[in-house]
């Protein structure tokens, strides 16, 4: 069992060590500083972002518009919207694996304002669904859907044949 003197000595020692450690870390300092670069693998913009114009109202509820004023359409940017373009990008990928019946692709590009792209998916009936789309900050997403090929519905298994129906011994997916 610990004596009262030992307990007091241990308590004071722990308090002194804690005070020393706290003094080493200055109050208000932040050990998690932001990265020195922009954090991504692309160069900084050529023109810096412009601050909001002075006198712009703070975010929050707005007073109701007087009657007769055009209203903003829900989901659309208002007249006071300030558009800041995004980073341009371009990508493409495709997967074709006949063993697992996976066949799909996607490609898209953006200039920072408008995104255009296309994706293709092999449907279970054998057709390929193609979606060509355009999206921008002002008008939203617009898609044109089309199909290639003819739908095919193969007949089920022949009597006495293995597979089909999900019973034991069915082919199923192979990984």
And the tokens for 85? 């373009």
Query: pTM for the full model?
Result: 0.46
Question: Does the pLDDT of residue 98 top 70, yes or no?
Answer: yes
Closest CA to 131 of 106, 161, 158: 106
Which of 15 and 133 is assigned the larger pLDDT?
133
Mean pLDDT over 54-81 rounds to 62
Q: In angstroms, rounded to a whole number, what is the distance separating the alpha carbons of residues 103 and 121?
A: 6
Q: Which long-range contacts (CB under 8 A, 24 or more apart) does 118-127 make?
A: 123/147, 123/151, 125/151, 125/152, 125/153, 126/150, 126/151, 126/152, 127/151
SS3 assignment, position 117? strand
For residue 74 the two structure tokens come to: 């829900």
Tell me the per-residue pLDDT of 146-170, one tens digit each, with 9 for 90 and over: 999 998 887 766 666 555 444 444 5
- Sign, CA dihedral 43-46-48-49, equals negative
> Would you give the DSSP letter of residue 98?
T
């Amino acid at each position: 069992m610990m004596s009262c003197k030992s307990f007091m000595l241990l308590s004071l020692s722990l308090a002194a060590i804690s005070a020393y450690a706290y003094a080493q870390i200055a109050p208000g300092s932040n050990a998690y500083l932001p990265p020195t670069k922009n954090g991504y693998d692309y160069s900084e913009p050529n023109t810096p972002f412009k601050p909001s114009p002075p006198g712009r109202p703070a975010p929050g509820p707005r007073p109701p518009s007087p009657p007769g004023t055009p209203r903003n359409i829900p989901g659309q940017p208002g007249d006071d919207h300030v558009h800041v373009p995004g980073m341009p990008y371009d990508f493409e990928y495709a997967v074709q694996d006949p063993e697992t019946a996976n066949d799909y692709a996607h490609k898209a590009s953006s200039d920072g304002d408008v995104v255009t792209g296309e994706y293709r998916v092999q449907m279970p009936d054998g057709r390929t669904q193609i979606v060509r789309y355009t999206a921008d900050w002002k008008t939203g997403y617009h898609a044109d859907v089309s199909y290639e090929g003819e739908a095919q519905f193969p007949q089920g298994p022949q009597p006495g044949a293995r597979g089909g129906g999900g019973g034991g011994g069915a082919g199923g997916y192979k990984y």
